[in-house]
A and B are shown apart, each in its own frame.
Chain A
């Protein structure tokens, strides 16, 4: 990391360096799945926010995937979700360089590649220097340690929201609510900027509005045939988005809902033969690959829904923003007992009329993949097939598509046979 400290640490230099490397590596690849205007708007919003984080005038927070962003929008802070940035870096074709850099600095290959890639990007000085970092103790240990390490590297304040396991306990809401308040007080001191509670209420209201459209969209996705492809929908990964609380995301989700509604209302008659419907667990590989294209087009099945798009929290109360955000964090299915999460999966199977589950097991993930033996056992008893496909969202060296194809084909053939 000493190399970074020696370099000029301003954001313009960091962006220039990233773009120069990206140009050397390859041009930005265009996803083949983006057929909707909403998807293009969403991609543009993500890119704009990422670029805004390189503006010297911006106040920038590094946050992990479930740290609530409503607070940041209320304080005019640009949230940078460092794990999501890895997916963006995959588009720039610089992930392998970042992974190598992390490994050369003694970060083991057994560590999750999102974490390694982020560390490598920080070592290579591709990321905009944050003003502070904020992370939750969920989803995983890697994430909390990553943020701690980055806070040391950038010598910036770090806030950890310790999400309690015991989500049903009244102490849990109180504990988390107090931490949120304390975090905001600390941010106020760090940035010398007071939070405007009216703005926070407004961010909560906007978050509710965005949620409203996404929930309605998810209702439309129960239709058969599936109104949109999973390959396009998975990139929304709504539960991980760093745009909740912004005005722009309301527009994106509203557009998304309206476009899909239009499709449903104007679709031709359903095909005579119902396609196999798949529930997708976890994420997808973000480097150049044709996994979804293979499943949805070549194998002709529908990825009807993805767990990362399940809106698990209720409407929040703008008059009680901290308490509401605490409840939202605790409503997250992976918080607590794994049976809680399994319950959510079983509900989604019913709701979306699912024939089978494909679970993309990201190598290095101890949190998401580690309970799947239990899930598979429960699903077996209920007669619902599930296949776990091993791979890596970021590290293309851990992805063997040729082998996976055969397994996926066999799995889908088996379901087709059963459904005959």
Chain B
């Protein structure tokens, strides 16, 4: 990893230098993983307990599908009306982008991911492919069931890699990942003021870098950035329209720039490349497996969980915390859970005076120009 970064050994003194390091980490993810002697394990959902993979001595990283230019192979393997995040990930796999990795973990989050598991096993040459079942409800029984699924996951990992995952090692990696969570939450605090010290584009680059494995190094760098930001004076002079972004898988900086060029500021992302990845922390006082099960099942809710009311309450909490003026809800085409949650969430938000703009698009936003007009009109109306 070190030799791919020009800035790694030099002193970083500006936000831009840090951000550049994070962006490079994300952009060179595959190259860095290939150079690492430890086995790489891909994951897709923020419900994946990375702690277990780290504890096994492997390197977990998020498969993002961003190098795929089309879905021609994946569309044949699956079906045309599948979410394009799933298709792009499978396309990368079928193109051989991940031939070097040792395994993938797919969480049973939705119909698309479940079929991704089937297709990945059938079409992609990855030795270890595990599906982790995840209940849709939160209850005593579902926590117990999920806990047992985590035990099965650990066992299958141990069997395949021939290495015992001890309770102590799990505690260590929970501590490590909690550290990342805490730092990312601190980073988000710098976006709560009237003039955020970190932009949405920068924040997304940092969050994506946190998913590339190598959390020790990431934590060290993010700690440096947080220290730098803590010494900055927060300005309260400028006040712009604050936007919360919510919805499906999303990492399109172009869209964020478009929103910000229209005169608004995106202050929080209630998405898997945002808050949903790192909010809260795992209780180190509990038995590690129970703590993992409880945290992941109860984490910032994704549309895949049944309880849209709980999701709404979480969004409402974010609106309050970030002093949000309006919500932009982005759903990938064919993402049923997000599409079906939207009318309910919109109704609840409107009743409380918060306007929502609904956008539907593909993974790579081929319809960006269409969206542009709608975004501009929405923001102009609010300004």
Contact = CB atoms under 8 A, between A and B. Distances in A.
Interface in B78-130: 78-79, 81-82, 108, 110-112, 114-115, 117-119, 122-123
B141 A166 contact: no
Given A110-B334, A162-B135, A169-B152, A149 B119 contact: no
Interface in B292-341: 304, 306-309, 331, 333-334, 336-337, 339-341
Given A179-B141, A371-B78, A166 B152 contact: yes
Contact of B339 (A110, A371, A372): A110
Interface stretch (B22-30, B142-150, B214-222, B253-261): B142-150
Given A110-B81, A366-B81, A145 B115 contact: no
Contacts of B111: 140-141, 366-367, 370
B195 to A, nearest CB: 34
A152 B341 CA distance: 12
Contact of B118 (A110, A178, A338): A338
Given A166-B152, A373-B77, A374-B122, 7 more contacts: A106-B342, A110-B360, A112-B336, A141-B111, A162-B137, A366-B110, A370-B82
Given A165-B114, A366-B334, A141 B133 contact: no
B131 interface: yes
B355 to A, nearest CB: 14
A302 interface: no
25 contacts: A106-B346, A106-B358, A107-B343, A108-B331, A141-B110, A141-B304, A144-B306, A152-B344, A160-B136, A160-B137, A162-B135, A162-B136, A162-B145, A164-B135, A175-B141, A175-B142, A337-B131, A369-B79, A370-B78, A370-B79, A370-B82, A370-B111, A370-B115, A373-B76, A374-B123
A371 B336 contact: no
In this complex, the interface size class of chain B, counting residues with CB under 8 Å from chain A, is: 35 or more
Contacts of A339: 118
Interface in A316-342: 337-339
A313 B119 CA distance: 26
Interface in B51-88: 76-79, 81-82
The residue in B133, B342, B343 that gathers the most chain A C-beta atoms within 10 A of its C-beta is: B133
B336 A141 contact: yes
A115 interface: yes
Contact of A165 (B77, B78, B131): B131
Nearest to A175: B145
Interface string A106-119: 11101110010000
Contacts of B307: 148
A178 B148 contact: no
Given A110-B360, A141-B111, A162-B137, A115 B340 contact: yes
A106 B357 CA distance: 11
Nearest to B333: A110
A180 to B, nearest CB: 11
Contacts of A152: 308-309, 344
Give the 10 A-B residue pairs with the shortest CB-CB distance, closest first: A145-B340, A338-B118, A366-B111, A373-B77, A370-B115, A165-B133, A106-B343, A370-B79, A175-B145, A141-B336
Contacts of A338: 115, 118
Contact of A361 (B79, B108, B346, B347): B79
Nearest to A366: B111
A311 interface: no
A398 to B, nearest CB: 11
B141 A366 contact: no
